[in-house]
Homo-oligomer: A and B are copies of this chain.
Amino acid sequence: MKDRKFEEVTLRTEEIYKGRVISLQVDHVRLPNGETATREIVKHPGAVGILALHEGRMIVVEQYRKALGKNQVEIPAGKLDAGEDPLEAARRELEEETGFHCGKLEHVSSFYTSPGFADEILHLYWAGDLQKGEMNLDEDEFLDCFEITLDQAKALIGEGRISDAKTIAAVYAWQLYELTGRFA
């Protein structure tokens, strides 16, 4: 299929909000049938998540998520700094949030978290050859770091304590690796 077949042409963009992490705009577009419509779009700098496996366990962090109003157990993750290489961001976030340095770091997959309304992309990496060092959290970051087995990960998913896209994807990738020796 031609990529332009369903293209929506931007007629004008309303800048609604420019925040610390995200910004919001409304694009007025011309649809393929000639009609017009609006598209609400959140701009995000992109993020990384790390499937860090240490002696058969996955390193996770538990933190409060204000958007959800509750704690969540997730893989270590964080936003890209401006111009930052995702691989370096993954190394940095793993060290800051968990204190672990990694000897190996490989790309697993990258995905848009909410293509219907946001441009956020999440780059998922596998980290191995881990050495424990010191945590170094951002000043507004509060979390616990611990390690879980695959069975514990599945139990936490069942309890709803693990319930975000990147961690669910990481647990799927880990299961596939255990079954096939590959992450995809």
Report chain B residues within 8 Å CB of A47.
116
Chain B residues with Cβ below 8 Å from A65 are 112, 115-116
Q: Determine the distance from Cα of A70 to Cα of B4 in the docked complex, in whole angstroms.
A: 8
CB of B116 within 8 A of CB of A163, answer: no
Q: Is A31 an interface residue (CB 8 A)?
A: yes
Interface SS majority for chain A: mixed
The reply to whether B42 and A66 form a contact with Cβ atoms under 8 Å apart is: no
Q: Are A68 and B115 in contact (CB under 8 A)?
A: yes
Name the B residues within 8 Å of A179 (CB-CB): 176, 179-180
A154 contacts chain B at the CB level, 8 A cutoff: yes
Interface contact B176-A165, CB-CB below 8 Å: no
Contact among B10, B33, B64, B118 with A8 in the assembled complex (CB-CB below 8 Å): B64
Closest chain B residue, CB of each to CB of A66:
B39
Number of A positions contacting B (CB below 8 A): 76
Cα-based distance from A173 to B157 in the complex (angstroms): 14
Judge if A106 is at the interface, Cβ distance under 8 Å.
no
**Interface stretch among A16-24, A51-59, A81-89, A90-98?**
A16-24
- Could you pull out 25 A-B pairs where Cβ atoms are within 8 angstroms? A1-B71, A10-B66, A16-B17, A19-B40, A21-B116, A22-B42, A24-B42, A31-B140, A31-B142, A32-B142, A39-B67, A42-B67, A44-B114, A67-B112, A67-B114, A67-B116, A68-B119, A77-B116, A79-B116, A114-B118, A121-B163, A122-B165, A157-B184, A165-B165, A165-B166
Extra pairs beyond A22-B117, A165-B165 (13, CB < 8 Å): A6-B62, A6-B64, A10-B66, A19-B26, A21-B117, A31-B142, A32-B142, A42-B67, A65-B112, A112-B163, A115-B164, A175-B176, A179-B180
